[in-house]
Structure 1
Amino acid sequence: MKAFRNRFRHYAKCEGRFVQTKSCGQYKIADKEFGQLKTLIKELTGINLTEQKKMLIVARLSKRLRVLGLSSFAQYYELLTETGNSSEIIHLINRITTNKTDFFRESHHFDFLKEVVLPRFYEEGMKNGRRKLRIWSAGCSSGEEPYTIAMTLQEFFHDKTGWDVKILATDLDTEILAKARNGVYSQDIVAPIPSACLRENFKKGVGANNGLFMVKDKLKRMILFKRHNLTSEEFLLNEQIDIVFCRNVIIYFDEATKTRVINHFHDALRDDGILFLGHSESVIANDGRFKLIGNSTFCKTAP
């Protein structure tokens, strides 16, 4: 009976799964195995893992090893490198990516967008007839950034007709993208949204979503969510982008990868297009192809 109780406690702690290979504690990882995973993750995502991140990675991946019934990180690496095992690669990426975000995070960017950037593009469009705006939220996480952009656009364009405005929102993590598409958030998550803006763009959930806030369809229709690796050469649109938001993403890359990603943004942006970076990301401060026009806000210079 005592043995059964001990096994039941083990089952409960391990979230409802009887596991044979490991207790609920973390696995150990040898330097060789960490080096192999570090190299693989760098190749897949561009993220540069330092030695200080070792225990964080072990903590995030131990649960996955238990689910798979594996006894070591060596076995996990073998599984990851098997030919055609793309599904487990996606699981790996989903667990090592960082998804910290908020509505109206670094709110000065959205003030600048509404008060400076959008009026400029609007004036240009009224003169040249290009009444179209394309914005890319790169590394969109669980959707707070692109929905904040959409709310800002709604406020600016509410009395302006004839404009085609779309947002491309991309991330590498498939699970977090599903959450973004769903657009359902708790009270504490939507707290930064001004009350009038919240009423205009969200509805209160019912049933399974009781107590939650759901993004209204009019906002969702403005956004296309897609999986995309920032370090890849793939372009997701066949037209140039007017504005790119990529905030607090490239800080996880090494210098060579940062440069490659910035090159992608440069190629994607139209001349005089706008790039918003995170407050601690000064990678293009000395890049002559961009000029600083606001707080961590850059304009692509014409050739």
Structure 2
Amino acid sequence: MSEFRQSPAPQEEHPSLFGAADRDLEFTEADFDKIRTLIYQRAGLVLASHKREMAYSRLAKRLRLHGMRRFSDYLTRLDQHPESPEWEAFTNALTTNLTSFFREAHHFSLLAEHVKQATSPVRIWCAAASTGEEPYSLAITLSQALGSRASQAQILATDIDTDALDKARKGIYALDQLEKVSEACRRQFFLRGSGARAGMAKIRPELASMIDFQSLNLTSGSWVAKGPFDAIFCRNVMIYFDKETQARILERFAPLLKPDGLLFTGHSENFSYLTQRFKLRGQTVYELSR
């Protein structure tokens, strides 16, 4: 039996409610502070103070699903049941999944030139795979750069959001999501939907077979990611961590890279001052310090 059961409706006004007139669920400042604490403890994510509305709207769906009226009840029961499967839904709800095919295109051109020099099978880790656009972009890049050698390449694609990973594994996207994918690539690497699937495209099986999708929390004590990798893509996720967590993750990345391996980061991320293990190569690409 689930530990998430319906709570009695509140019987009186709560003095610390904010935005109460617009809400059907009781949500206090203390509740938001608790959410921020729990998601930091669970996933290392720093939830900024302006994310109140986002937290309410995303988690309200979970409360309604369980017939709850007060965030305090939901959060207390989460806290009391550390092994509950609801933790996965809680984390998924608060994870941001903004991605696209060939986002920051210069990274893929640089990667293509880098892997052409590889003498052993290429291995890439996409550490924030989200709904799949980035790892599939990597697979396309490797296929084009390596030719027949691409069949030996492996891409590990991880994310903390299991809902996003489920979508990624399916590899099905609306055609308007492929705007950065050339028509030649669409024909080569995608199957166009018809009938009920009209307006959709699916990754071809031979491309999908290059990728292993796995759930991974970058702040957890153990990782399924085992090196060495030719490159690690960890883009636009470290901005959600505090500096201490960023530095700790970077230290763990370093031994997983091959000596000439590359770390690709997001356009707004700068780690030069956080660790001595990496030095900036240029355009948000890092290499190991010698």
1:86 has 2:84 as partner: yes
Deviation at 1:262, TM superposition (A): 1.2
Query: Given the superposition, is the C-alpha separation of residues 296 and 239 from structure 1 closer, same or farther in structure 2, using an over 3 Å criterion?
Result: closer
Structure 1 unaligned runs (5+)? 1-19, 126-130
Query: Given the superposition, is the C-alpha separation of residues 139 and 242 from structure 1 closer, same or farther in structure 2, using an over 3 Å criterion?
Result: same
Equivalent residue, structure 2, for 1:118: 115
Equivalent residue, structure 2, for 1:137: 126
CA contact (8 A) 2:151 2:210 kept: no
Equivalent residue, structure 1, for 2:254: 266
Q: 1:217 aligns with which of 205, 216, 221?
A: 205
Q: How does 1:31-50 map to 2 (within 5 A)?
A: 31-50=29-48
Q: 2:140 aligns with which of 145, 148, 151?
A: 151
1:183 has 2:171 as partner: yes
Query: Given the superposition, is the C-alpha separation of residues 82 and 208 from structure 1 closer, same or farther in structure 2, using an over 3 Å criterion?
Result: farther
Q: Secondary structure at the match of 1:86?
A: coil
Equivalent residue, structure 1, for 2:281: 293
CA distance in 2, matches of 1:258, 1:244: 15
Deviation at 1:237, TM superposition (A): 3.9
CA distance in 2, matches of 1:74, 1:203: 47
CA contact (8 A) 1:186 1:213 kept: yes
CA distance in 2, matches of 1:89, 1:176: 15
**What do residues 281-302 of structure 1 show as CA deviations (whole Å, max 9, x unaligned)?**
0023563321211200001124
1:248 has 2:245 as partner: no
What TM-score does the superposition give when structure 2 sets the normalisation length?
0.88
CA contact (8 A) 1:26 1:58 kept: no
Query: Given the superposition, is the C-alpha separation of residues 301 and 195 from structure 1 closer, same or farther in structure 2, using an over 3 Å criterion?
Result: same
1:60 has 2:50 as partner: no
Deviation at 1:226, TM superposition (A): 0.3
Equivalent residue, structure 2, for 1:226: 214
CA contact (8 A) 1:168 1:226 kept: yes
CA distance in 1, matches of 2:217, 2:150: 33
Q: Secondary structure at the match of 2:47?
A: coil
CA contact (8 A) 1:205 1:213 kept: yes
CA distance in 1, matches of 2:211, 2:259: 23
Deviation at 1:206, TM superposition (A): 3.5
Q: How does 1:279-290 map to 2 (within 5 A)?
A: 279-285=267-273, 287-290=275-278
Deviation at 1:63, TM superposition (A): 1.6
Deviation at 1:211, TM superposition (A): 2.3
**What do residues 235-278 of structure 1 show as CA deviations (whole Å, max 9, x unaligned)?**
31443222100110010111111111112211322222110000
CA distance in 1, matches of 2:67, 2:45: 27
Corresponding residue pairs, total = 273
CA contact (8 A) 2:247 2:274 kept: no
Identity among equivalent pairs (%): 38
Once superposed, what is the RMSD of the aligned Cα atoms?
Answer: 2.1
Equivalent residue, structure 2, for 1:99: 97
1:170 has 2:186 as partner: no
What TM-score does the superposition give when structure 1 sets the normalisation length?
0.84
| Mean Cα deviation higher: 293-302 or 237-246 | 237-246
**What do residues 39-69 of structure 1 show as CA deviations (whole Å, max 9, x unaligned)?**
1100111110121111211111112111111
CA contact (8 A) 2:266 2:284 kept: yes
Query: Given the superposition, is the C-alpha separation of residues 260 and 287 from structure 1 closer, same or farther in structure 2, using an over 3 Å criterion?
Result: closer
Structure 2 unaligned runs (5+)? 1-7, 11-20
